[in-house]
Chains A and B, each alone.
Chain A
Amino acid sequence: MKTRLLTGFLSLLMPALVLAGEYDLTVDRVNIDTGDFVKEGIGYNGKSPGPVMRFKEGENVKINVTNNLDEMTSIHWHGLILPFDQDGVPGISYPGIKPGETFTYEFPIQQAGTYWFHSHSGFQEPDGAFGAIVIEPEGREPFRYDRDYVVQLTDKHPHSGDRIMRNLKMMPDYYNREQQTVGEFFSDAAENGLMNTLQDRMAWGDMRMMKADVEDVQGFTGMINGMGPDQNWTGLFEPGERIRLRFINSSAMTYFDVRIPGLDMTVVQADGNNVQPVNVDEFRIGVAETYDVIVRPKDAQAYTIFAESMGRSGYARATLAPEEGMEAAVPQLREPARLTMADMGAMHGMDHGSMDMSGAQDMSEMDHSTMQGMDHSGMDQGSMTMSEKGPSDPFYAKGSGIVPTAANGGKFLSYADLKAQDPLYEDREPTREIELSLTGNMERYTWSINGVKYEDADPIRLQYGERVRFKFVNTTMMTHPMHLHGMWSILDAGAGEWNPVKHTISVAPGTTVYMETEVDAPGQWAFHCHLSYHAAAGMFRKVIVEGGPDATQSKAAVATEEGGDA
């Protein structure tokens, strides 16, 4: 992949050695075999996932991307800080890459850590067009490990992305296998009383949501590094070694709860940025997020990496072992989590103007005391460690049905545990706040921001040099991983100057989450929910950064002229 190092002649003349690497990627039609089914998809250099691109901080990279498809393509370098015209979003950064053409990306690598890359065209990414990026830091890492592995997750579906989107538009619950049944209605009625159950169902109907909408695209096979559960990707180790696992969630739609029974995990990095180490038993990885963990298996035995989908409709599985072919027990999927009325929490007292909220009145008249009784209906009581009030996490609505708990009763990572190891930016007061309501109508499969979908929306205009506080108010029943391109998202985790820096901020139903952005990258950028079908349905914005160095302004004008789909 790395064809040549152009470090020779020029660098001899320069005071500092500048590393320059040239890389080639082809975008190809490939077959993807999950072990459950084989289907055609899109990959890089003949495979999905594509190669692990290994860069070095301080290097200038040149990446030649050749489009062997019969349609337009693009590559977005997810989480990398780079000039906006190298960011790879058709219609925002550039027009895209035509069939048969080669586009050469050139940008300096200004950061270190675990990232990934993927197509930003149509549904090529759900169809397999993604790969991993590993950047070695200039200095030493603030932790030690003997070997490292990329663990790239995806939710491979037998249907193509286009077909899934068509089906969702026709019938939003097409892929929702966990809908409540008539039988469940009667068992709920027996437990909670007929009237309470009726009111509950009616309220949900009025919300244009279904109670089991934890995952709206089910029926996938979870994969790790291109291998399904039975194909069992295996990472080798010598007992006593520290292993760095670089988890990347490249799923179209699926959050995973990840654990390795028998091993403690120490989280040392989130979204490419080092965090103060946190020991956990399990963590939830949102779509597009990355977490790096260090594990230290002391015994010469196999360990299962088990990644259950948040809605428990599927799982990915891999193995760490001293030798190929060894396996450990694969846990059973836990009971599906069910959303509760609490997951609608933020709808009270909000500006309902933009939403279809005909049911809000009925809801506020409900007897809230009955909700307490319902909260646990879908939960695995055995896995609960907390009191009868249920587990809590400040990043989930109080009484939410999807608060994660560790399968072994131990520690589950929360956003509240994430603290920057070495804060990237000085803490300062934001210059202004922008409120973004995450909105949607499940019955029509429309997803939007402030009730307006991308094609009808004005761009968000930011001024170079300001620090903007974004207020995400999730008015929907789904969890949205919000991804701002080009600039860091400083998550307000309540840690002040130690707040972690991320590229993707997950916002759970019924919650309000804040992030701040130092507007330090001129040009125009994409800002969207990273669930593929939500982004495509319109939960997407263009962000324009005004001001800053002059040269970029004229480039922005050129990039927009050609247009195209984002």
Chain B
Amino acid sequence: MNASKLLVVAAAMSMSATAFAAGAHGGGHGASSGEPGKASEAGRTITVEMYDNYYEPETIEVKPGETVRFVVENKGNLVHEFNIGTPAMHENHQKEMKMMVEHGVIQGGKLNKQMMDMDMGNGHSMKHDDPNSVLLEPGQSQELVWKFTGKGSIEFACNVPGHYQAGMYGDVNFK
């Protein structure tokens, strides 16, 4: 539990630019999925369970401007991600996730934490610390607070190679 709390803090602080940069390249629908939210502003909690390879629920409804506290639980036997983004952002992120698999960071049901922290040069690492995403081993759970700023084509998705393509995504519908 301590570890996951730390991760949340780290995630909230790091504010890595990659998610937003990717969105800008993606184009279409303004290409913004929102921004990290403050827990104090979250009006409600949505629990998202991750199985092999699908989510429950597969659609969520939000209001523009709403902040939601997600509790993400990995109930499967494989590593899964919960990532909020536009389809274009997911497509870009899939390349990074492919690299993580090729480097042995993600191995079926295990995450190689040591390798995630490794310095890959030029300030890069495979930490996977973008604030719009959590990456969990089987049995783990973690919180993510997200503010949905505007309407747009937003999905939550698992970008572990093959999972999104096989249908591990859910729709964010704006009311």
Contact = CB atoms under 8 A, between A and B. Distances in A.
B165 A422 contact: no
A266 B52 contact: no
Given A266-B166, A277-B161, A143 B108 contact: no
Nearest to A146: B167
A421 B52 contact: yes
Contacts of B77: 422
Prevailing SS type, chain B contact patch: loop
A277 B163 CA distance: 6
Given A276-B78, A279-B161, A498-B108, A294 B54 contact: no
Interface in A102-143: 140, 142-143
A140 B168 CA distance: 13
Contacts of A142: 51-54, 166
A144 B167 contact: yes
Which of the four size classes fits the interface of chain A?
20 to 34
Contacts of B54: 140, 142-144
A242 interface: yes
Contacts of A519: none
B108 A264 contact: no
A276 B108 contact: yes
A419 interface: yes
A62 interface: no
A419 B77 CA distance: 13
Contacts of B168: 143
A500 to B, nearest CB: 13
A279 B52 contact: no
A278 interface: yes
A419 B166 CA distance: 15
Most chain A CB within 10 A, of B51, B163, B165, is at B165
A149 interface: no
A555 interface: no
Given A140-B54, A142-B53, A276 B162 contact: yes
Interface in B30-44: none
Interface string A248-266: 0000000000000000101
A296 B78 CA distance: 24
Nearest to B165: A266
Prevailing SS type, chain A contact patch: loop
Given A276-B78, A276-B162, A422 B167 contact: no
Nearest to A298: B87
B167 A145 contact: yes
A268 interface: yes
B161 to A, nearest CB: 6
A294 B165 contact: yes
A201 B141 CA distance: 64
A278 B166 CA distance: 9
Contacts of B165: 264, 266, 277, 279, 294, 296
Contacts of A276: 53, 78, 108, 162
A487 to B, nearest CB: 24
Contacts of A278: 161-162
Interface in A293-323: 294, 296
Given A145-B167, A498-B108, A277 B51 contact: no
Contact of B162 (A140, A277, A296): A277
Contacts of B166: 142-144, 266, 268, 277, 294
A145 B166 CA distance: 8
Interface string B41-76: 000000000011110000000000000000000000
A312 B77 CA distance: 41
Contacts of B53: 142-143, 276-277, 421
A419 B162 contact: no
Interface string B74-108: 00011000000000000000000000000000001
A278 B163 CA distance: 8
B48 to A, nearest CB: 16
Interface string B142-175: 0000000000000000000111011110000000
Contact of B167 (A143, A419, A421): A143
Contacts of A279: 161-162, 165
Contacts of B167: 143-145, 242, 294
B106 to A, nearest CB: 11
B55 to A, nearest CB: 10
Contacts of A296: 165
A215 B53 CA distance: 38
B162 A266 contact: yes
B109 to A, nearest CB: 9
Interface string A264-280: 10111000000011110
Nearest to A145: B167
Nearest to A495: B108
Contacts of B162: 266-268, 276-279
B167 to A, nearest CB: 3
A242 B51 CA distance: 20
Contacts of A267: 162
Interface string B108-145: 10000000000000000000000000000000000000
A208 to B, nearest CB: 43
5 contacts: A142-B52, A142-B166, A143-B53, A266-B166, A267-B162
Given A143-B167, A419-B108, 6 more contacts: A142-B166, A276-B108, A277-B161, A278-B161, A278-B162, A421-B52
Closest 3 CB pairs of A and B: A277-B162, A144-B167, A266-B165
Interface of B: 51-54, 77-78, 108, 161-163, 165-168
